[in-house]
A and B are shown apart, each in its own frame.
Chain A
């Protein structure tokens, strides 16, 4: 049998990988994908705990996290496209002024 701990450890590893990606990479698209990875790691922990406690509330929370992720991606990618049109660069170190 698989212990619940193993799922939590895997979730922690995925979350740390995502956090490292956010901190190291300078491409906003990769940063977004790393954020998605972190959200996914949290979802995995939610479902593992829902299984452990025999309770559906954890699974319901995963739905809400997915909705928030979809909304975040839709707005974030629209912002990236607009920034690219204004600056012709999407390196996050170049985006250091509020006026385009």
Chain B
């Protein structure tokens, strides 16, 4: 059934563009109906699940990695999947009307349904890696949804910010999950949360930090919340669905999922409470100063997410409160977003201060807004009240547990400001008089909308607001069982077990005189006061905007430009296009690594370096080699350099002769001569060496060259001390006459012992000679330097010193067999 649900929605996603092409108007309701049937299927089994039945389905995927398609339906998954499919069906219906004329509606349906399938997969997944796969899929589909209107630059920017933030968080999450699961030895989440021995594992702390980083970015906690208000660039249907009811709750969901294991770990609990409380208060403060519908709702969503995170850090009681709050929030915030969409659709005004008295033209929407707003403010009789009441109660409870009183301040402040925001979006535009200022909009005069919006637009907010009302008035009908089953799952208990949550949610039980009630009613009153005095409040808090440069959006911008800046700096320094620079770095690295290894390896050890007596001839030859090499470096004409190179080679060859290797010496003489001739032929036409570099640069070059040279010389000396085997020369001199009947040992070696070598050498030389002949031939055909040498290579070289050399190479190359 679970896999079938995901598969069904994926199938809808695939079919959506076709359906849209075939039926146009009818496609949206049809798809909504399909999603609704999945919702109904899940609701059908809900009584069993709330009674404690757990459905488990497993299919193989990549068992070598511990990845399998394991799906599990328990109380928490049930709550989330009902929200995903229920709100999803309503949102699809809404979108079919609100985006009726959007050019990419078919693509929108497909992406939204793909998102829905991923989200459903995420909450049903019982395998950590599978959950991660779906987690990333929700990021990608959300990216596409935010960027739906991709002709707008802000939409593209917001989409990128959302994806970068949640994507980076996702990677952290992956690392954290792998660490945790490897420590526990299982990737099955339901199994993992029972492995209490992990709590002593040294990798626990980094794992927690990484997992929380992932969850906090996804659920827009401080300081990562900046992407969520930006994501409101998406169509309202997307905001209502992804950015209030479902996707942003993924982080909260995962925290809840891991709670049975990690709740009680000091780092986990305190991070959740501190970050959650800071987010709840901070976002509520920022949001209470906004007037644009969606911005107010966005920040209040962030604030509510903070509340849930904070509650999850408060133990089992907090879990119950979090579950109830999650359900209540999804219902009222989804409704309010859709209401904002209806208002936008009807009036094309996005600023709630510029609207008023909309109840006349939008009566049903206004009623839904009122119900949702009351629920959000936490007025008794609505589900939101239960959520808020439990929240306050748990915070007071935590105070006894040793938490700082600041926590209560944050809770009260966030509650009051949320009530103010509720009034701003649900009260101001609908029930207060229209502002008299010039920008006021009077929708009733607009004949196109005189009859109110189409039914698919208002049915969604109405249904969700109604659900909030029913949940508040008669919680036993659906709200309490579902939320409490979820709370049990968060606490790691099965429903009905001792200690399982059985908090009564009906008003009669909750409205009991006590500090909690006073505090929460006081918060509502304070919120209304803030709303009434909102102009003075906004003016008074204006100095707080001086903190914006320290805020999350600036942090994101700083991180973004920091990465780019660092990258540019690295590029400028390392990638300047000069072969000379590349060689310098590479050789420098070889030298550092070589010397480092030598120094490290020889710390303590000492092996004698063999010494052999040096005669005057040898000394002279070595000196000659050194002088030639020095001359080669210092000389300025190519011919002279080639001559010096040849001289160095001749000195080395003579050294061979002195040490009794005439064959080697002869070969060397021949090779040297040939090289000089070839080099002269090839390099004859190149220009003189200009002096490109400053003295300082030449000093650096010399230092690197000497260092590498010294390293290599040192290695040769060391290697000379290694005697691995009997020298083969003894064998040769003993067997030369016995086996080969020759008295000249060198001759015997060349033509007998190493006959195959000799044959190979001869072949190579012959081929080389043929090549030389061909070169000379080509030159003979084209006498004189060519008139039209190609210009600079296309690559622009910032280093002027480099370009001529490359140009020359590229220019010469065609004569040697290129496409001339």
Are these two chains actual partners, yes or no? no
Residues on B facing A (Cβ under 8 Å): none
Residues on A facing B (Cβ under 8 Å): none
